[in-house]
Amino acid sequence: MNLDDIKNDKEWLVQEILEVINPDYKNRSQTHLEKEKRDIRYTLLFTMEGIENINATLIINYYRWLIDTLSAYNIKKDILFKMHRVISEKLLPYLSEAQKTFLEHLDIEQSLTIKDPFKIDEKHTVHKLYLDALLNKNREQALQVVNQYLEDGMDLKTLYMDVIQISLYEIGYLWQTKKITVADEHLATVITQFVIATLYPKIFAMQKHDKKVLGAGVGKELHEIGIRMVMDFFEIDGYQTQYLGCNIPPKEIVAYALDFQPDIIALSITLPIHIGDMKKTVAMIRDETRLDHVKIIIGGQPFLHDTALHNIIGADGFAKNAVDALKVGGQLVAKTA
């Protein structure tokens, strides 16, 4: 048995870990028990992804996020460190020697020293009106704020980066720290999708050149605002774009690319547990000789902490945001011109 086998059939291991971490689990309510199993399940998946890629950053940053999140529920970090120790012990028999060495030398308490890449500069305030509209659950207010910024002369790229993106980062942090509910967070996303949709007549009316970009969220990924913004930036910059959405199987991305013949394929994931899907997608694109000319850019939270990770995936470049995607994409296309 290896890590792939465990990924496909992990519930027995989740149960074993639960019994060690919480011997009194049978006295818990069913609801509480399911939450414990869910936390163990995700932690196990994140840990295995880090091990498979021999990448400590993936694991450390997951624990940093988990500590911040569960502290809002008064769950002490020592419990999480214990879970890491138990998971490590349970996985060791199924690892290669290199993986064992990696895991045995991993100091998870480093997670407390990792800087949060999404921490908002307190001096940044231009997004506050839009953020207030999201927190007020007011779609019309959000649209009015955006339209007012545009009337005042703000360009679309600044609007996306300094207003919409930063507001969504703050919404995510407020959910993480239990200041708002998951329903509030989802509604903020829906409102933002509505607001962005109203901008498309302006975006698609801009003059285009002959370069093409295909974009998609990979695997079972359902977070699409980031990759949607990337595609909009390419559209604003004159590229012909096709955005396929999220949860697109690799073979479907390849089939569409063969028809569209893009110069660039932009792929995104938000959770490290989808790195395997990203690898598979990139490999399938590389295996298709009729797409040899295509440059692949990848992005998403897992790569923000380790910008060299894209080399493991096999991509041509990594972009930390929409502005960076334009820069990297332009450089890659220029090399082939």
Look up the pTM and report it.
0.81
Q: Report whether pLDDT(123) > 60.
A: no
In a domain, 228, yes or no: yes
In a domain, 272, yes or no: yes
332 falls in which pLDDT band (50, 70, 90)?
very high
- Which one of 187, 203, 219 terminates a domain? 203
Q: Which of 91-105, 184-198, 260-274, 304-318 has the lowest mean pLDDT?
A: 304-318
Is 210 in the same domain as 310? yes
> 211, 163, 219: which is closest to 326 by C-alpha?
211
Is 39 in the same domain as 72? yes
What pLDDT does 116 receive? 52
Is 256 in the same domain as 242? yes
- pLDDT tens column, 21-55: 888 888 888 888 898 899 899 999 999 999 998 88
Is 199 in the same domain as 217? no
Is 101 in the same domain as 23? yes
- Which one of 113, 138, 170 terminates a domain? 113
Is 251 in the same domain as 199? no
In a domain, 311, yes or no: yes
Over residues 129-154, the mean pLDDT reads 96
Q: What percent of the chain has pLDDT over 70?
A: 94
117 falls in which pLDDT band (50, 70, 90)?
very low
Provide the number of structural domains found in the chain. 3
Is 86 in the same domain as 19? yes
In a domain, 109, yes or no: yes
Q: Quickly list DSSP for 31-69.
A: HHHHHHHHHHHHHHHHHHHHHHTT-HHHHHHHHHHHHHH
Q: Report whether pLDDT(119) > 60.
A: no
In a domain, 303, yes or no: yes
Is 329 in the same domain as 210? yes
Is 223 in the same domain as 299? yes
What pLDDT does 305 receive? 74
In a domain, 265, yes or no: yes
Residue 264 parent element (H or E) = strand 264-268
Q: What percent of the chain has pLDDT over 90?
A: 61
- pLDDT tens column, 152-201: 999 999 999 999 999 999 998 898 888 999 999 999 999 999 999 999 99
- pLDDT tens column, 219-265: 777 778 999 999 999 999 999 999 999 988 999 999 999 999 999 99
Mean of all residue pLDDT scores within the chain: 89
In a domain, 118, yes or no: no
In a domain, 121, yes or no: no
CATH number at residue 152: 1.10.1240.10
Is 192 in the same domain as 210? no
| DSSP code of residue 161 | I
Contact 46, 273 (CB under 8 A): yes
CATH number at residue 305: 3.40.50.280
Is 236 in the same domain as 155? no
Is 235 in the same domain as 327? yes
Over residues 276-286, the mean pLDDT reads 94
Q: Could you list the residue range(s) of the whole structural domain that residue 288 is in?
A: 206-336
What pLDDT does 264 receive? 98
Nearest 10 degrees: CA dihedral of 307, 312, 314, 315?
-10
User: What is the distance between the alpha carbons of residues 268 and 144, in angstroms, rounded to a whole number?
Assistant: 30
Contact 226, 270 (CB under 8 A): yes
